[in-house]
């Protein structure tokens, strides 16, 4: 066995151990851990690890496995557990998705809103308002091809403006794992599509 193969074997062994440990601490079911190990192995064989830390690829593999198996988890939860930089994790995620040609099943947007809302300590009223908004757009042509996290983040921001429980765009975007630009774009689009009027606007 050559040196390169030994390095790959060692990396895979470490990755599987870390996936098991992280999966247990994050309360992820066994199928997710198994799927994450498969994704990491395929990424390793495709050379996606080159120039990236093993931690970032392991973290991205777990996040992707959760998305594939429709297990709700926030980008922020993965990032904090592995203590990797936002750009590093997103870079590994994109590289794996593109490199392996992955496709994902539809995400439960209401559950995603729940997760983000709870992480932000939002009231039931604001979360309910966000779910009402997401219900109106989730099956529309507008939602096709849009990142679920971006849609959920934008609806939570809008819901907060409506209920008066205002959260900063930066805070919501960080928890949801999207950029502030994405949040603002989706926010403006949804406001326009649904013709939502904020309380102060309705009195004008």
Q: What are phi and psi of 83, to 5 degrees?
A: 55, 45
| Number of domain units in the chain | 2
Decide which of 75, 100, 125 is a domain's last residue: 100
Judge if 184 and 116 occupy the same domain: yes
Query: Which stretches within the chain are classed as H helix?
Result: 3-25, 30-45, 54-68, 75-82, 86-100, 109-119, 124-137, 148-163, 169-176, 180-193, 199-202
Residue 204 lies in a domain: no
Question: Both tokens of residue 12?
Answer: 């895979």
Judge if 141 and 122 occupy the same domain: yes
pLDDT tens sequence across 70-85: 887 777 788 888 888 8
Judge if 29 and 72 occupy the same domain: yes
Contact indicator for 63, 84 with CB cutoff of 8 Å: no
pLDDT tens sequence across 94-131: 899 889 998 876 678 898 899 999 999 999 999 999 99
Decide which of 71, 100, 129 is a domain's last residue: 100
pLDDT tens sequence across 27-59: 899 999 999 999 999 998 888 888 888 889 999
Mean per-residue pLDDT over the chain, rounded: 87
């Amino acid at each position: 066995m050559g040196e390169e193969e030994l390095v790959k074997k060692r990396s895979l062994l470490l990755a599987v151990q870390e996936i098991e440990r992280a999966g247990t601490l994050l309360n992820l079911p066994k199928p997710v851990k198994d799927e994450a190990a498969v994704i990491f192995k395929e990424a390793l064989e495709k050379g996606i690890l080159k120039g990236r830390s093993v931690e970032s690829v392991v973290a991205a593999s777990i996040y992707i496995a959760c998305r594939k198996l429709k297990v709700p988890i926030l980008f922020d939860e993965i990032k904090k557990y592995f203590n990797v930089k936002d750009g590093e994790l997103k870079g590994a995620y994109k590289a794996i998705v593109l490199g392996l040609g992955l496709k994902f099943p539809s995400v439960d947007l209401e559950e995603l809103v729940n997760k983000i809302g709870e992480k932000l300590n939002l009231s039931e009223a604001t979360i309910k308002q966000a779910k009402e908004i997401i219900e109106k757009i989730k099956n529309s042509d507008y939602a096709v091809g849009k990142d679920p996290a971006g849609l959920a983040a934008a609806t939570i921001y809008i819901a907060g403006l409506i209920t008066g429980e205002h959260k900063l765009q930066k805070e919501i975007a960080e928890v949801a794992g999207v950029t502030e630009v994405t949040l603002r774009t989706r926010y403006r689009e949804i406001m326009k599509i649904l013709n939502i009027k904020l309380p102060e606007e309705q009195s004008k």
